[in-house]
Amino acid sequence: MKQVIYAFNQGSAKMRDLLGGKGANLAEMTRLGFPVPKGFTLTTEACLDYLAQEDSEELSDPVIAAIDQALADLESVTNKAFNDPENLLLVSVRSGARESMPGMMDTILNVGLNDRNVESLAQITQDERFAYDCYRRLLQMYGNVVYGLDSQFFEEHLAQEKTKAQVRFDYELKVGHLKALVTAYKKVYQDQLGFDFPQDVKTQIYEAVKAVFKSWNNHRARVYREMNHIPHDLGTAVNIQEMVFGNSGQDSGTGVLFTRNPATGESKLFGEYLVNAQGEDVVAGIRTPEVIEDLKADMPEIYQEIHDLAKQLEGYYHDMQDIEFTVEKGKLYFLQTRNGKRTAKAAVKIAVDMVEEDLIDEKEALLRIEPSMIDQLLHPSFDPQALAQAEVFSSLGLAASPGAGSGQIVFTAQKAKEWQAAGKKVILMRNETSPEDIEGMSASEAIVTAHGGMTSHAAVVARGMGKCCVSGCSDLTIDEAAKVVHYPGGQLQEGDTISVDGSQGKLYLGEIPTALSNTDENYQKMMDWARKYSRLKVRMNAETPEDIQTGFSFGADGIGLVRTEHMFFKAERLREIRRFILSVDEGQRQAALEKIRDYQVEDFTRIFQLSQEAPAVIRLLDPPLHEFMPKSDQEVAEVATDQGISEAELRSRMVQLAEVNPMLGHRGCRLAMTYPELYDRQVEAIIYGAIAARQEGLDPQVEIMIPLVSVEPELDTLRKRLSQVIDRLLDQENVTIDYTIGTMIEIPRACFIADQLAQEAGFFSFGTNDLTQMTYGFSRDDAGKFINQYLEDGTLKEDPFQTIDPEGVGALVKIAVDKARQTKAGFKIGVCGELGGDPASIQFFDQVGLDYVSCSPYRVPLAQLAAAQSAIRQAEGNH
């Protein structure tokens, strides 16, 4: 039979898969001779075998025999016994998966107490109150985690007892009250379960082991694993360890310590301890702990020992450690060590410092930083203490764009602009946003929508702006006309103040103060390394000068997508694009387009000035034209007057424009196949802009992109026509400009004919938003309605709009890359859909050999880091 239990002195850190993180580290510390209380680990395999049993909920005979043997061994090595009143053995039972998982059952302390042993404990500790306090806690914790008894059953009695005793806090209860509680708690077992709390120590342990095993599959644990991409088939280990008593007098104590400051990264021990206390007391806030430095005065030798051992552990693991220790009668024990959790700022500082200290190399430092942490560094976040006090009113939204913002709610973009101009901070709340809302979005501290997913307009634009956004809050009903939003249990009116956490997707009532994270020299150093080790280039999706500057300040290698339609929403341009749409003859159409061209020259000049020698991909008009038409009655009336036509005429034109499936309709290159002069004038504007930059001595790299190509003749026709327009213009102006015409690959069919398209195109850029939409047949704007459920019930493992689906969308990408490069070796290919800013997708794009990814400016650093990590992992051969 395979070994199901390893004593701590039989394992090592290498056995993480089998012993879990906690068990492997306890074994390693034991192996290194650290003072670790004795114990043993039941393996993750034992857990998986238990969970696979179909016919029984009981532990198998061999597992029971192994536990019995391990307990007997523990008694003999500790010189204690479970029923020995002089040398009482109590144990802790803790879960410990390979990755630390807050969703699972965690710890039960003081296992081994029963009606008789509690008296022994009182004798040993000379503290009857403490002994009964431990026992009532065990009864509650055990009932709760092992038998699923609601804490409420116990809390009720506790509250009653406190009332009776006329005290506010648990720790004010006297031994008599605690004894009464023990009696009441035992009755809860009888009343709710029909049996007693097990007095037999072994039964306590078997039941606790079963509960830990089962907790692997509880709902919280599953959700946590899904969120953190941890496989479901790993299982958890169980650690059973001798209890040591930090509450055995003034020469005892307990504490938690980090080898460096987890908030700032400062290289100095950081932690807290309590003299004469047990583990829980430090965390439970019953007494205020002392800072670890004070231990120097309280117990100088112990302090020195802790200091030296902690540093030794850090050096051994090459990472900052989070350590739990206990001192029992002047003897130090380490109960746990693990790599400590830390803020983004601390993570970067620690990694950079460790390179300087020769503990790790630059590549390892890069691998230590979670790309998503970079987002934390670049966006403001709420003050954690204030956040803990705040009241959540919506928690079902998507964390669409990170950051934090508070302000008064408004329901129209217009109001957002007006109130912002009047000096107010506003939050724009809408069912969904449209391109017309851009200025209002930009005027807001944050954007909230009730509908739409991670690639909805609001989400994409907000990320582009680096603005906080929560989209798809399905627990909100927004009545824009009545200016009221209903949430579960209440409602808010225009002008009410809320706070939006774009990193968590949560909304809070009232204002919460924020703190801006700064990007210091450590961050700069880390990003320099990232650029040094990555192969994949990172460009930005941007069109406004501010965004472009932001992207370049983050070290973007160019612009991967200018969505020209975003430039059409200033009032004077909107008027002309509407004139173009409503025109009845060619002459009117031309006149409107020429005006738009003239407006756009200025935009493109600015883009090329900012880009200098870096390449800039400019995409020709893509959305269906109805997006430029007015929405409300009032707007219709205004536009009709402005355009000099009757309202009826305008409405009838709008009916003609309306489409059942606009995303599959008259949009992208199809617009130019039917109105070729549209793209003619756009490329003229681009080339005039490039000429202006050239006249300033710059060398613009113009990459013109045609969207939504599905058949080769679309690309062929448009490319030939546009080249002629451009060449004629360059001839006329007598200049040369480096330009290429490429295409987006965003329709599945385009992937299959990529070899043909590559003949014609100067480059490809994958539009993964549309490609995902069309591969799955999921509307990118409405999929939120079912995707959440799909993710919860396991129908989908990941949201394909957020991370690449390697089997479907990814397979298409690969087909297209292979076909294109067969046609032209070294053919330039990038990606500009939202997946271009997702770390897992970036790794995929790196592996299939794309030249660059393009993402919103604020994601550029994250993408650079992900690209470096991908390159490092590939070089190390572990992808």
- Which of 281, 267, 238, 184 has its CA nearest to residue 26? 238
CA atoms within 13 A on the CB side of 484: 5
Residues in contact with ligand PEP, shown as a per-residue x/- string from 63 to 102 under the rule CB under 6 A: ----------------------------------------
Residues in contact with ligand PEP, shown as a per-residue x/- string from 132 to 171 under the rule CB under 6 A: ----------------------------------------
**CB nearer ligand PEP, residue 350 or residue 704:** 704
Stretch that binds ligand PEP, among 187-195, 436-444, 669-677, 767-775 (CB under 6 A): 767-775
563 annotated as belonging to a binding site for a ligand: yes
Sheet arrangement for strand 506-509: 392-394, 506-509, 497-501, 404-410, 426-430, 446-449, 468-471, 398-401
Contact 852, 557 (CB under 8 A): yes
Cα separations (Å) of 1 from 51, 64, 236, 431?
A: 18, 13, 20, 60
Contact 842, 833 (CB under 8 A): no
- Least distance (Å) from ligand PEP to the CB of residue 473? 22
Report the partner that residue 718 touches, choosing among Mg ion, ligand PEP, none (CB closer than 5 to 8 A by kind).
none
- Which of 324, 328, 316 has its CA nearest to residue 94? 324
3-class secondary structure per residue, 180-201: HHHHHHHHHHHHHHCCCCCCCH
**CB nearer ligand PEP, residue 42 or residue 832:** 832
Residues in contact with Mg ion, shown as a per-residue x/- string from 689 to 728 under the rule CB under 5 A: ----------------------------------------
Q: Which of 120, 503, 769, 869 binds ligand PEP (CB under 6 A)?
A: 769
- Least distance (Å) from Mg ion to the CB of residue 744? 6
- Least distance (Å) from ligand PEP to the CB of residue 748? 13
The Cα 761–Cα 373 span in angstroms is 37
- Which of 596, 632, 570 has its CA nearest to residue 439? 570
Active site residue 832: yes
Q: Does 770 bind Mg ion (CB under 5 A)?
A: yes
Contact 252, 327 (CB under 8 A): yes
The Cα 293–Cα 291 span in angstroms is 6
Active site residue 457: yes
Q: Does 767 bind ligand PEP (CB under 6 A)?
A: yes
Contacts with Mg ion by CB under 5 A: the residue count is: 3
- Least distance (Å) from ligand PEP to the CB of residue 435? 11
Contacts with ligand PEP by CB under 6 A: the residue count is: 10
The Cα 746–Cα 614 span in angstroms is 24
**CB nearer ligand PEP, residue 593 or residue 813:** 813
Contact 404, 375 (CB under 8 A): no
The Cα 29–Cα 319 span in angstroms is 15
**CB nearer Mg ion, residue 746 or residue 799:** 746
Helix locations, 334-434, DSSP H: 344-356, 362-368, 371-378, 384-389, 413-421
767 annotated as belonging to a binding site for a ligand: yes
The Cα 834–Cα 841 span in angstroms is 10
Per the DSSP assignment, residues forming a β-bridge with 766 are: 745, 831
Contact 330, 35 (CB under 8 A): no
Q: Which of 494, 576, 770, 851 binds ligand PEP (CB under 6 A)?
A: 770
Contact 771, 809 (CB under 8 A): yes
The Cα 657–Cα 728 span in angstroms is 33
Catalytic residue among 157, 177, 451, 457: 457
Torsion, Cα 820 823 824 825, to 10 degrees, reads 80
- One-letter amino acid at 543 equals E
**CB nearer Mg ion, residue 445 or residue 834:** 834
Angle at 665 between CA 660 and CA 671, to 5 degrees: 140
- Least distance (Å) from ligand PEP to the CB of residue 390? 34
The Cα 394–Cα 877 span in angstroms is 44
Stretch that binds Mg ion, among 35-43, 169-177, 587-595, 763-771 (CB under 5 A): 763-771
- Least distance (Å) from ligand PEP to the CB of residue 750? 12
Report the partner that residue 800 touches, choosing among ligand PEP, Mg ion, none (CB closer than 5 to 8 A by kind).
none
**CB nearer ligand PEP, residue 566 or residue 595:** 566
Stretch that binds Mg ion, among 408-416, 470-478, 518-526, 767-775 (CB under 5 A): 767-775
Q: Which of 447, 685, 832, 850 binds ligand PEP (CB under 6 A)?
A: 832
- One-letter amino acid at 497 equals T
Give backbone dihedrals phi and psi of 696, rounded to 5 degrees, phi first.
Answer: -90, 10
342 annotated as belonging to a binding site for a ligand: no
Stretch that binds Mg ion, among 88-96, 308-316, 405-413, 746-754 (CB under 5 A): 746-754
Stretch that binds Mg ion, among 171-179, 721-729, 744-752, 806-814 (CB under 5 A): 744-752
Torsion, Cα 445 450 452 458, to 10 degrees, reads -20
- E-assigned strands of 669-770? 701-706, 738-745, 764-766
Q: Does 623 bind Mg ion (CB under 5 A)?
A: no
339 annotated as belonging to a binding site for a ligand: no
- Least distance (Å) from ligand PEP to the CB of residue 705? 10
Q: Does 768 bind ligand PEP (CB under 6 A)?
A: yes
Report the partner that residue 563 touches, choosing among Mg ion, ligand PEP, none (CB closer than 5 to 8 A by kind).
ligand PEP
The Cα 373–Cα 351 span in angstroms is 13
Q: Does 833 bind ligand PEP (CB under 6 A)?
A: yes
The Cα 364–Cα 368 span in angstroms is 6
**CB nearer ligand PEP, residue 415 or residue 451:** 451
Report the partner that residue 833 touches, choosing among ligand PEP, Mg ion, none (CB closer than 5 to 8 A by kind).
ligand PEP
**CB nearer ligand PEP, residue 657 or residue 832:** 832
Report the partner that residue 703 touches, choosing among Mg ion, ligand PEP, none (CB closer than 5 to 8 A by kind).
none
Q: Does 767 bind Mg ion (CB under 5 A)?
A: yes
The Cα 764–Cα 755 span in angstroms is 11
Residues 594-623 that bind ligand PEP (CB under 6 A): 622
The Cα 267–Cα 265 span in angstroms is 6
- One-letter amino acid at 185 equals Y
200 annotated as belonging to a binding site for a ligand: no
Crossing angle for the helix pair 545-553 and 586-611, nearest 10 degrees?
Answer: 30
Q: Which of 16, 368, 563, 681 binds ligand PEP (CB under 6 A)?
A: 563
Q: Which residue has the tokens 């005027």?
A: 443
Using a 10 angstrom Cβ sphere, with 0-12 exposed, 13-18 middle and 19 or more buried, the burial of residue 508 is buried
Residues in contact with ligand PEP, shown as a per-residue x/- string from 397 to 416 under the rule CB under 6 A: --------------------
**CB nearer ligand PEP, residue 402 or residue 767:** 767
**CB nearer ligand PEP, residue 276 or residue 769:** 769
**Token pair in block for residue 848:** 């299939």
DSSP structural state of residue 686? H
- Least distance (Å) from ligand PEP to the CB of residue 783? 14
Report the partner that residue 768 touches, choosing among ligand PEP, Mg ion, none (CB closer than 5 to 8 A by kind).
ligand PEP
Contact 609, 696 (CB under 8 A): yes
Angle at 786 between CA 784 and CA 790, to 5 degrees: 115
Q: Does 539 bind ligand PEP (CB under 6 A)?
A: no
Q: Which of 494, 746, 838, 851 binds ligand PEP (CB under 6 A)?
A: 746
**CB nearer ligand PEP, residue 671 or residue 832:** 832
769 annotated as belonging to a binding site for a ligand: yes
| Residues at the interface with ligand PEP (CB under 6 A) | 561, 563, 622, 746, 767-770, 832-833
Binding residue positions for Mg(2+):
746, 770
Residues annotated as catalytic are: 457, 832
Binding residue positions for substrate:
563, 619, 746, 767-770
| Residues at the interface with Mg ion (CB under 5 A) | 746, 767, 770
Binding residue positions:
563, 619, 746, 767-770
